[in-house]
Amino acid sequence: MMELLVLFYEFLKIGLFSVGGGLATLPFLYRLAEKYPWFSPEQIPDMIAVSESTPGPLGVNMATYAGFQHSGVMGSIFATVGLVLPSLVIILVISGFLEKFRSNKYVEYTFYGLRPAVTGLIGAAGFGVLIGALFHSASFRELEFAALGSQIGWKELILFVVLCVATSRWKKHPVFYIALSGAIGILFAF
Amino acid sequence: MKELWILFSTFCKIGGFTFGGGYAMLPMLQKEVVEKQKWATEDEVLDYFAIGQCTPGIIFVNTATFIGYKQKGIAGAVAATLGSIFPSLIIVMVIAAALQNFAELAVVQHAFGGIRVAVSVLIFHAVIGMWKKSVVDTVCILIAAAAFLLSLWVRLSPIWIVLAAGILGIAVSVGREGKKP
């Protein structure tokens, strides 16, 4: 039970501080992976893939998945409810003066600083995902720069370049690229 | 009670049939909430969405909370919020359970080897999109760069970075206000 309450509390914090939608919870998940033995940083890209390929908002899906890694069904429920509880309370509080809140200049000022920071945070998390995907190394810190050539996955690098070109040219749904890459991964034994 | 059930089931339906969250959910919200249930006008839904982005948490869930509250007060807010997360809970739990059993298989590992590359490309695109929308001047570039480096090298908790950036945003904007005649 104690374990579940810790999980709940951690996701409560994520719900309170993740602003900006979509991948905003990603940097927090990496922090959790470093702090607790619930799941490893290497599992996070797989969580993103599953969350992108299943219906529902990305943040909720990732919380459910992370909670499941922690302790199965109960973990999923505690993590997800923890994630949405802060915003539920905040919205109930501000619902009386919604319009004032929205046009409040201090809210606007806060977001002027927040949005670039969230961009930087997700960028850093994405960088970690990229290193994990392209190199045979657990993390950025474990990379040996002298032996970079032997650590790089050439097949992965080629797929990365192909996908970069493809995604900027054809606006297909993310699920399409995830499924395609999964098939390529099986075909060429990544 | 029936109204609460309709709130719950409507947001279940939207959550269960749209992929990706965020703006991907707008068309479905408009169809179900505006046209079918007539809980809000199209403009109101867009407003809720805008406010949902300015409050912490998941935008779609926040929008559901707003609409639920407007219809049936606190009970409505809770029903709509639970509805919006219910399909995700069930579907992702089933998949996570299945993957746990098959994670050891070579086929699954090869597949995820490829999928990780796709995920990094998708994040890359998301970051570029966010950069275009949110980084409007030099101060923003500095904040984004500082957040990136502090998170990657110093491993500062995102909570502190988010708090500091919000305070900085207010300080810089108020400072600018003071300069204007």
- Write down the ipTM of this complex: 0.88
The answer to whether the CB of A83 falls within 8 A of the CB of A15 is yes
Interface of A with B in 39-78 (CB under 8 A): 45-46, 48-61, 64-65, 68-69, 72-73, 76-77
Residues of A with Cβ-Cβ distance to B140 under 8 angstroms: 112, 115-116
Tell if the pTM clears 0.90, that is, is over it: no
Residues of A with Cβ-Cβ distance to B155 under 8 angstroms: 34
Residue with more model confidence, A151 or A57: A57
pLDDT at A74: 96
Partner-chain contact B92 A56, CB within 8 Å: yes
Terminal-to-terminal C-alpha distance of chain A? 40
CA-nearest residue of chain B to A49?
A: B119
Interface of A with B in 127-146 (CB under 8 A): 127-130, 132-134, 140
pLDDT at A143: 67
pLDDT at B103: 82
Mean local confidence (pLDDT), B102-130: 90
The answer to whether the CB of B50 falls within 8 A of the CB of A102 is yes
Residue A122 lies in a domain: yes
Confidence of residue B21 (pLDDT cuts 50, 70, 90): low
Summarize pLDDT for A112-167 with one digit per residue, the tens: 999 999 999 999 989 988 988 888 765 666 666 666 667 788 899 999 999 999 98
pLDDT at B165: 95
pLDDT at B90: 95
pLDDT at B155: 83
pLDDT at A21: 72
Question: How many Cβ pairs closer than 8 A exist between chain A and B?
Answer: 366
Q: Is the pLDDT of residue B97 over 60?
A: yes
Q: Which two tokens stand for residue A118?
A: 């969230």
pLDDT at A140: 60
CA distance B28 to chain A (A): 12
Mean local confidence (pLDDT), A99-109: 84
**Mean pLDDT across chain A:** 88
CA distance A48 to chain B (A): 7
Q: A114 is in which domain, residue-wise?
A: 2-132
**Kind and range of the H or E element at A56?**
strand A56-57
- Lowest-confidence range among A99-103, A169-173, B38-42, B80-84? A99-103
Total domains, chain A: 1
Terminal-to-terminal C-alpha distance of chain B? 57
Cα gap A63→B173, rounded to integer Å? 34
Residues of A with Cβ-Cβ distance to B159 under 8 angstroms: 13, 17, 28
**Mean pLDDT across chain B:** 90
Cα gap A137→A19, rounded to integer Å? 31
> Which of B57, B96, B170 faces A18 most closely, judged by CB atoms?
B57
Residues of A with Cβ-Cβ distance to B96 under 8 angstroms: 50, 64-65, 68-69, 76
pLDDT at A99: 73
pLDDT at B42: 87
Summarize pLDDT for B123-147 with one digit per residue, the tens: 898 899 889 989 999 999 999 999 9
The answer to whether the CB of B63 falls within 8 A of the CB of B52 is yes
pLDDT at B45: 87
pLDDT at A139: 60
Q: Which two tokens stand for residue B143?
A: 């904040």
Residue A88 lies in a domain: yes
**The residue to which tokens 């201090």 are assigned:** A106
Residue A127 lies in a domain: yes
> Which of A31, A87, A180 faces B62 most closely, judged by CB atoms?
A87
How much of chain B, in percent, has pLDDT values that exceed 70?
Answer: 98
